[in-house]
């Protein structure tokens, strides 16, 4: 441990260095990405349902949402959510005559922004996956008397994942890297910690390179996880 710490220098673990702080930052990065993906998946499914709806208005709403989100820089969306959520909530509080003022935590604002972005891309993937399940299977399920709900729950939904997982794996990589934007609004995730460390120690290149290496490690592990998930989602399917 001693020799390792002297090798690491300012990146050492324990009270002398920033090693454990960086790892804590990396953990916040991962939790940010996990929360954003989870909420983004749920919102993405909802949006996909809107896009497949019979009603023009709902389809149009979902289409314009994805068009706007996908055409704007992630950074801009994050800033709008970060500064906008405070103003919106406080304005509605005063509209109800309340004197209370709230400040939305940075973590919550970031998750809200990132999951809104995730959902805009995920809904396209879900829509494609929904339509990719062969129509013959749906007809067969209806023919044996399954209700519409059961056709979805037992036949379509379980098979959608097989088509959706490659695209969702890509999105996970995107959201993992986009969490770094939270450093600009001073949320203590990996990049922000390494900025603080680098400025304090006067070794900015070392710290930013360390952050880069940690991100690289996270994406490498995610790549392995994605390969595993893709393989698992194809199990029992011949010819793929």
* Cα(106)–Cα(83) distance, integer angstroms: 10
CA torsion, ordered 227, 228, 229, 230, to nearest 10 deg: 50
CB of 88 to another protein, least distance (A): 9
Tokens at 207, concatenated: 């710290």
Find how far residue 122's CA is from the centre of its chain: 10
68 binds another protein, rule: CB under 8 A: yes
CB of 74 to another protein, least distance (A): 6
Helical axes 106-132 vs 74-95, angle rounded to 10° = 120
CB of 203 to another protein, least distance (A): 8
DSSP notation for 43-81: HHHHHHHHHT-S-HHHHHHHHHHHHHHHHS-HHHHHHHH
CB of 216 to another protein, least distance (A): 5
CB of 55 to another protein, least distance (A): 25
216 binds another protein, rule: CB under 8 A: yes
Binding mask 145-184 for another protein (x = CB under 8 A): --------------------------------xxxxx-xx
How crowded is residue 4: how many other Cβ atoms within 10 Å of its Cβ? Answer: 10
Nearer to another protein, 42 or 213 (CB): 213
Work out which of 3, 55, 57, 71 binds another protein, going by CB under 8 A.
71
Work out which of 208, 229, 230, 233 binds another protein, going by CB under 8 A.
208
Nearer to another protein, 180 or 233 (CB): 180
Asked if 202 and 27 count as a contact pair (C-beta separation under 8 A), the reply is no
How crowded is residue 179: how many other Cβ atoms within 10 Å of its Cβ? Answer: 26
95 binds another protein, rule: CB under 8 A: no
CB of 175 to another protein, least distance (A): 11
Provide CB contacts within 8 A for 34, sequence distance 6+: none
Binding site for another protein (CB under 8 A): 68, 70-76, 79-80, 83-84, 87, 177-181, 183-184, 191, 195, 198, 202-205, 207-209, 211-212, 215-216, 219-220
């Amino acid at each position: 441990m001693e020799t390792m710490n002297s090798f690491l220098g300012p990146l050492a673990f324990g009270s002398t260095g920033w090693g454990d702080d960086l790892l804590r930052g990396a953990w916040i990065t991962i939790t940010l990405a996990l929360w954003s993906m989870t909420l983004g998946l749920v919102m993405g499914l909802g949006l996909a349902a809107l896009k497949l709806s019979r009603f023009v208005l709902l389809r149009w709403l979902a289409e314009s949402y994805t068009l706007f989100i996908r055409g704007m820089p992630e950074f801009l969306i994050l800033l709008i959510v970060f500064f906008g959520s405070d103003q919106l909530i406080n304005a509605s509080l005063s509209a109800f005559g309340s004197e209370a003022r709230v400040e939305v935590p940075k973590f919550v604002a970031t998750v809200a922004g990132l999951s809104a972005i995730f959902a805009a891309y995920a809904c396209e993937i879900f829509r494609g996956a929904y339509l990719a399940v062969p129509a013959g299977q749906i007809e067969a399920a209806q023919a044996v008397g399954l209700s519409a709900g059961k056709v979805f729950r037992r036949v379509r939904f379980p098979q959608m994942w097989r088509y959706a997982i490659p695209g969702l794996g890509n999105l996970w990589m995107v959201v993992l890297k986009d969490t770094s934007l939270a450093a600009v609004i001073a949320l203590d995730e990996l990049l922000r910690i390494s900025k603080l460390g680098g400025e304090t120690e006067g070794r900015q290149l070392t710290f930013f390179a360390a952050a880069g290496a940690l991100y690289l490690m996270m994406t490498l592990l995610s790549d392995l996880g994605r390969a595993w998930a893709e393989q698992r989602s194809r199990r029992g399917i011949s010819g793929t």
